[in-house]
Amino acid sequence: MQDTTEDQSEVSRMGEAHAYDVLVVGGGATGAGVLRDLARRGLRTLLVERGDFGTGTTGRYHGLLHSGGRYVAKDALAARECISENRILRRIAPASIEDTGGYFVATPSDPDDYVAGFQAACIAADVDCEEIPVAEALRREPALNPRIRRVFKLPDGSVEPWQLIESNIADARVHGSDAWSYQRLVGMERDGARIVAATLRDERSGSLTRITPRFVVSCAGAWSGQIAAMVNVTVTMHPGKGTMLIFNQRMTDTVINRCHKSSDGDIMVPVHTVAILGTTEQRVEDPDRYEITREEVAALIAQGEVLFPDLAKMRLLRAYAGVRPLYQPPAEVTAAALKDGRQISRAHTVLDHGAMDGIENFVTIVGGKLTTFRRMAEDTVDMVCGKLGVTEPCTTADEILPGQVPGKTYWLGHRLADHEAEGGGDAALLCECEFVTRPQLDAFLDRHPDASLDDVRRGTRVGMGPCQGGFCTFRAAGVVGERAGHAGATDVAEQADRAILGFLRERFKGTRPIAAGRQLQEQWMISGVYEGGLGVESLIEHETPDASREVVGAQR
Ligand SMILES: Cc1cc2nc3c(=O)[nH]c(=O)nc-3n(C[C@H](O)[C@H](O)[C@H](O)COP(=O)(O)OP(=O)(O)OC[C@H]3O[C@@H](n4cnc5c(N)ncnc54)[C@H](O)[C@@H]3O)c2cc1C
């Protein structure tokens, strides 16, 4: 999603002191939410993201709209925040949510005392919870372990992150703000107690832009320590890697959780045409360098079999990982927070670098969940507005996001239904798994002319279904090449080649740790198409290998 709608060189040439009131760093859900909230309160804001929007943790998470059920026993505050935001998101962003519902099932391995107290803990945290007959749950979800003992129904769901980000950015633009992708913050200048300028590097052209905002908000998640270090401030992050496995079919239409204290491999989330098992928790030094091991994959499957006994027989599509933005507050902050519960919650923390580090126009938001991104943004923007003397109230919970229809949640069959409603017939299909048509791809590329195929994947879901791009990547690359030709490019074939290579590299990363059995057979077949049929291997020789990319966990 290359969304540079403004001439960026213009900004640096003008050297205008306050072209933007606020610079927001990090284009995940939190950054997009903060951008929207600031814009709606009248502050002209620029969001910058070093890659495509939603390529940090937000694009590598599990996909769950939390009901709060996973936290009721150990963290009632987090549970309350989740259910409250769950209700708000259903209202303001229905198209980004599939209302799958959630089952918390007591397997024979789950402790009796936890199961016995679960419903009361839900009620105490205001989380809707109804016990349903086991037979009813098994009728709806026949792949579940037939030995489950009790089932509780909660309002879990599944959330599409990229559309959510795009809607937030669209609303911000309506209110006079902007967002630039592929712009990395590379430095900030400090003059005493203030940040006076920030330098951005265009990750595609290498050009630099200097801007002079009145305020800087870091929403860089697991990378927050790196941003703070640019002005000699310490923010101690403990990035926690979580690995997830994507199966080639929706073995469940409902989110399935084990009814126990949350641990590895105990939740399956149906996401569009696939189902995702997660997750794990492992500290990593660098949020950009980590790997997924075969041992992790095997352990996840073994844990998942407690819920779905036939899991090992199901076909895996890929493994991917994200990094939790876990923050370790210094002791004095924890003490201050205990006095002022608004500043810190166990779920997320807004760091006031004025009070903590003597920089008046800088805050960082860390921790939290995707489900609570709007509330995180509200808390952050309340602090920024307090400092800038802005009294406009937050309206993000009340106004539906652009492109969303009240009450109309996502439905898996919608693309086919929409197509049939328009008369059906030859759909000019590019991606059969996700029902992506040529007009849909053209419409996306019209809006994002510089998009890579990986950006196209996030924007349209091309290549995200069971074939994982095997049968649609070359078609989409052909469209990219054809459009380049119409636009007068002379290197049409090269553009299509580059599009294929970039996309396949990213996709195959996630299949390496799971390459065995039937998935390995499919990989051989797809390799045959691309290497035998299309001769992709000959293109690879011309590419300079980037060793650092090899160890980075694949995307969703
Ligand atoms: C394995 C796992 C599973 C999860 N599952 C769920 C779930 O099911 N439900 C749920 O609600 N939550 C879940 N979470 C939590 C949720 O994903 C995160 O809390 C949320 O996505 C964080 O969003 P963010 O915008 O704060 O961070 P990010 O999405 O990481 O955004 C930060 C952005 O900053 C950018 N950035 C970094 N440095 C720079 C720079 N110098 N210049 C410009 N940009 C920069 C990064 O590229 C990144 O895109 C999960 C997390 C993990 C790790």
Gap from CA of 367 to ligand 1 centroid (Å): 9
Amino acid identity, position 274: V
Give tens-digit pLDDT for 214-246.
999 999 999 999 999 999 999 999 888 999 999
Ligand 1 centroid, distance to 54 Cα (angstroms): 8
pLDDT band at 64 (very low <50, low <70, confident <90, very high): very high
DSSP 327: B
What percent of the chain has pLDDT above 90? 61
pLDDT value, residue 268 = 98
Predicted confidence at residue 550, as pLDDT, reads: 35
Ligand 1 centroid vs 223 CA: distance in angstroms? 9
Name, in order, each residue with C-beta under 8 angstroms of 148's C-beta and a sequence gap of 6 or more.
105, 106, 107, 108, 134, 137, 138
Compute, in angstroms, the gap from residue 403 CA to the centroid of ligand 1. 23
439-498 pLDDT tens trace: 889 999 998 888 888 888 888 888 888 888 888 888 888 888 888 778 777 777 777 777
Pocket test for ligand 1, best of 30, 57, 281, 458 (most atoms within 8 A of CB): 57
**165 alpha carbon – ligand 1 mean position (Å):** 12
CA 60 to ligand 1 centroid distance, Å: 8
Q: Which two tokens stand for residue 522?
A: 């499919």
User: pTM (2 decimals)?
Assistant: 0.88
Q: Which of 30, 34, 46, 61 is the best mutation target for the ligand 1 pocket, counting ligand atoms within 8 Å of the beta carbon and taking the most?
A: 61
Ligand 1 centroid, distance to 330 Cα (angstroms): 22
Whether residue 307 is predicted with pLDDT greater than 90 in this model: the reply is: yes
The ligand 1 atom at the shortest distance from the C-alpha of residue 241 is: 53
Mutate to test the pocket of ligand 1, among 369, 376, 556 (most ligand atoms within 8 A of CB): 369
The pLDDT value recorded for residue 541 is 55
pLDDT surpassing 90 at residue 503? no
**Gap from CA of 56 to ligand 1 centroid (Å):** 5
Residue 365 CA: which ligand 1 atom is closest?
26
Compute, in angstroms, the gap from residue 218 CA to the centroid of ligand 1: 12
Place of tokens 């495509």: 52
For residue 219 the two structure tokens come to 């929403």
Residue 270 in contact with residue 255, Cβ under 8 Å? yes
Question: What is 467-523 written as a DSSP string?
Answer: TTTTTTHHHHHHHHHHHHHHTT-S-HHHHHHHHHHHHHHHHHHTTGGG--HHHHHHH
Which residue's CA is the closest to the ligand 1 atom numbered 27? Answer: 221
Query: Which residue of 204, 223, 264, 300 sits with most ligand 1 atoms within 8 Å of its CB, as the best mutation to test the pocket?
Result: 223
Q: What is the pLDDT of residue 540?
A: 56
Model confidence pLDDT, tens digit, residues 246-283: 998 899 999 999 999 999 999 999 999 899 999 998 99
**Per-residue pLDDT, 3:** 37
* Token representation of residue 351: 């760091």
Min mean pLDDT across 140-149, 169-178, 317-326, 483-492 is at 483-492
How many of the other CB atoms lie within 10 Å of CB of 106? 21
Residues 169 and 27: their CA atoms lie apart, in Å, by 9
In 3D space, the residue among 370, 332, 369, 371 whose CA is nearest the CA of residue 352 turns out to be: 332
Closest atom of ligand 1 to 54 CA is 49
In the prediction, which pLDDT does 53 show? 96
Give the Cα separation of 467 and 463 in Å (integer): 7
Indicate the average pLDDT of the chain: 87
Return the residue whose CA atom lies nearest to atom 25 of ligand 1.
28
pLDDT for the residue 264: 94
253/255 Cα distance (integer angstroms)? 7
Give the CA distances from residue 379 to residues 324, 367, 374, 376, in Å, rounded to whole numbers and listed in that order. Answer: 20, 13, 9, 5
What tokens appear for 222 in the block? Answer: 């697991």
| CB-based pocket (< 6 A), ligand 1 | 25-31, 48-51, 55-58, 61-64, 66, 184-185, 219-223, 242, 279, 322-325, 368-371
Give the C-alpha separation, 259 to 236, whole Å.
33
How many angstroms separate the CA atoms of 146 and 141, rounded? 10
Chain position carrying tokens 């009813």: 136
Closest ligand 1 atom to 244 CA? 1
Q: Which is the closest atom of ligand 1 to the Cα of 372?
A: 11
Write the residue with the smallest CA distance to atom 48 of ligand 1: 56
In whole angstroms, give the CA distance from residue 181 to residue 27: 8
The residue-averaged pLDDT of 365-383 equals 97
Give the number of the atom of ligand 1 that is nearest the alpha carbon of residue 369: 19
The preferred substitution site among 46, 52, 62, 365 for testing ligand 1, maximizing ligand atoms within 8 Å of CB, is 62
Q: Whose CA is nearest to atom 32 of ligand 1?
A: 220
Please tell me which residue, 272 or 157, carries the higher pLDDT value.
Answer: 157
How many Cα atoms are found within 13 Å in the side-chain-facing hemisphere of 374?
29
Q: How far is the CA of 219 from the centre of ligand 1 (A)?
A: 9
Expressed in angstroms and rounded, the spacing between residue 382 Cα and the centre of ligand 1 is 21
pLDDT at 138: 98
Distance 28 CA to ligand 1 centre (A): 6
What is the CA(229)–ligand 1 centre distance, in A?
Answer: 19
Best probe residue, ligand 1, of 46, 231, 257, 370 (max atoms within 8 Å of C-beta): 370
Residues 329-346: what's their mean pLDDT?
Answer: 53
Query: Cα of 469 to ligand 1 centre, how many Å?
Result: 24
Q: Which residues contact 340 (CB under 8 A, 6 or more apart)?
A: none
In 100-160, beta strands by DSSP E: 102-106, 130-132, 150-154, 157-159
Q: Is 299 strand, coil or helix?
A: helix
N-to-C CA span, the chain: 16
Q: Which atom of ligand 1 lies at the shortest distance from residue 240's CA? A: 53
Cα(553) to ligand 1 centroid in Å equals 14
The residue whose CB lies within 8 Å of the most ligand 1 atoms, and thus the one to mutate among 37, 58, 555, is 58
Q: What percent of the chain has pLDDT over 70?
A: 90
| pLDDT of amino acid 496 | 75
Structure confidence by residue, pLDDT tens digits, 406-421: 989 998 888 888 878 8
Expressed in angstroms and rounded, the spacing between residue 501 Cα and the centre of ligand 1 is 26
Burial-class residue 243 by CB neighbours within 10 Å (0-12, 13-18, 19+). buried
**Beta strands 150-154 and 130-132: pairing type?**
antiparallel
pLDDT score for 101: 98
DSSP-assigned beta bridge partners for residue 154 = 102
Label residue 10 by pLDDT band (50, 70, 90): very low
